[in-house]
């Protein structure tokens, strides 16, 4: 391997045998990791070589810092790309991607999982009566209630204007039906406090328990149809 001192400067003068006490002191203060990394014999650690090694070490530190910053920026961009613009939950694209992954997991391990489709009732009336800011606040509240009442392994997403989806991992149809009813109850029992008024909220829901033979869009559409069946069913 070519000697690093030769790469740095082929004309560097070799130190004389009788080095001064000052030069010995400089060598003693040289960072040991720098010397070890260079793999140079002590005799070749001239001031010029030390300066080059120090500069290379500083440049390496700067590159590591820039790499860490770039990774943080990429992570932030990925989060923004996956997050709904209004609510702190997954957007439709990210939700479909996670649902696709869960379907693949179901196919591989034979573990049941389910998707729940929610449609918030009366959003047009809320917007017309209290304004669109109130409507946005209502959607954010629904998103928060869903997030607060599911497991960390579950996924909550906004699928459209007033439509939400929840992926319930390792959950059968019967278990998902009970969980969906509990989530709808949490929404119905938590009014939005807005401009001195309590605005009642409610949501229709539909459940579909999927297998590995489905794809994400099929599962969402099946849960959507189940939601509309519930919405059109006569009240008891």
The residues annotated as belonging to the active site are: 162
Contact 230, 204 (CB under 8 A): yes
Q: What values do phi and psi take at 107, rounded to 5?
A: -65, -40
Distance between CA 225 and CA 236 in Å, rounded?
A: 20
Match 């203060």 to its residue by tokens: 29
In terms of residues, how long is the chain? 236
- Which residues in 72-202 belong to E strands, given as ranges? 113-120, 155-160, 163-168, 192-194, 197-199
What is residue 211's three-state secondary structure?
coil
111 CB-contact burial (10 Å; exposed 0-12 / middle 13-18 / buried 19+): middle
């Amino acid at each position: 391997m070519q000697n690093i001192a030769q790469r740095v400067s082929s004309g560097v003068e070799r130190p004389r045998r009788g080095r001064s006490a000052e030069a010995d002191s400089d060598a003693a203060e040289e960072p040991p990791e720098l010397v070890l990394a260079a793999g140079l014999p002590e005799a070749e650690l001239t001031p010029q070589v030390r300066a080059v090694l120090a500069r290379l070490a500083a440049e390496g530190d700067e590159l590591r810092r820039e790499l860490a910053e770039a990774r943080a920026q990429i992570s932030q961009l990925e989060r923004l790309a996956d997050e709904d613009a209004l609510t702190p939950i997954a957007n439709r694209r990210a939700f479909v991607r996670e649902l696709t992954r869960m379907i693949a997991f179901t196919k591989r391990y034979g573990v049941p999982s389910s998707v729940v489709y929610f449609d918030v009732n009366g959003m047009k009336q809320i917007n017309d009566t209290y304004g669109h800011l109130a409507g946005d606040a209502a959607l954010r509240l629904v998103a928060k209630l869903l997030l607060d009442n599911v497991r960390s392994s579950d996924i909550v997403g906004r699928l459209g204007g007033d439509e939400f989806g929840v992926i319930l991992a390792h959950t059968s149809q019967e278990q998902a039906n009970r969980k969906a009813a509990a989530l709808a109850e949490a929404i119905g029992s938590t009014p939005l406090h807005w401009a001195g008024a309590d605005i009642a909220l409610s949501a229709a829901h539909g459940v579909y328990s999927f297998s590995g033979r489905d794809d994400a869009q099929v599962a969402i559409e099946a849960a959507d149809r189940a939601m509309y069946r519930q919405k059109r069913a006569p009240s008891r």
